[in-house]
Amino acid sequence: MLKRTSVVKSIKADTFGFSSIFEIGDSSYIQCFSRALALQRDTEIFFGKEGKFTEYDIYTEPFIISPITENIYMDTANLHPIINVKSIDIIGVSASSVLHIGSTKDISMESRVKHFRQLSSSPNR
């Protein structure tokens, strides 16, 4: 892991939610997972027991990461061991997201969302 120090004078984040993380300091491994059903209707109605994740393949299909087959050469020169930031201003962090100040060796993040639109078949449309 790179040995650099992060210095942030001020940080403002308005909203955190839905499996989000605010990490200050170094970490070895971060893993985030989020799943959601997003239903849009043109009328305000909710039936109570709508949507089971098991009913949709998007939530059970394996997540496949293709292996890197190319040769990669990287030469890094950290001339300054300190990263200085005056201020960070964030509106929101959500849905399997991370706001991280520091170094991380490995990160695994996954978000699966199924969107629906249920619109009435009105003759005026």
pLDDT tens digit sequence for 12-70: 999 888 778 888 988 899 888 888 888 888 877 777 777 788 888 998 899 888 898 99
10 has a pLDDT exceeding 60: yes
Beta bridge partners of 16: 93
pLDDT at 19: 72
pLDDT bucket at 89, cuts 50 / 70 / 90: very high
pLDDT given at position 94: 82
> For residue range 111-121, what is the model confidence (pLDDT) as tens digits?
888 888 888 77
Decide: residue 73, CB within 10 A, 0-12 exposed, 13-18 middle, 19+ buried.
exposed
**CB hemisphere CA count around 72 (13 angstroms):** 5
Residue 1 has a pLDDT of: 47
Gyration radius of the chain's alpha carbons? 21
Q: What is the DSSP secondary-structure string of 1-13?
A: ----EEEEEEEEE
- Rounded to whole angstroms, how far apart are CA atoms 87 and 51? 41
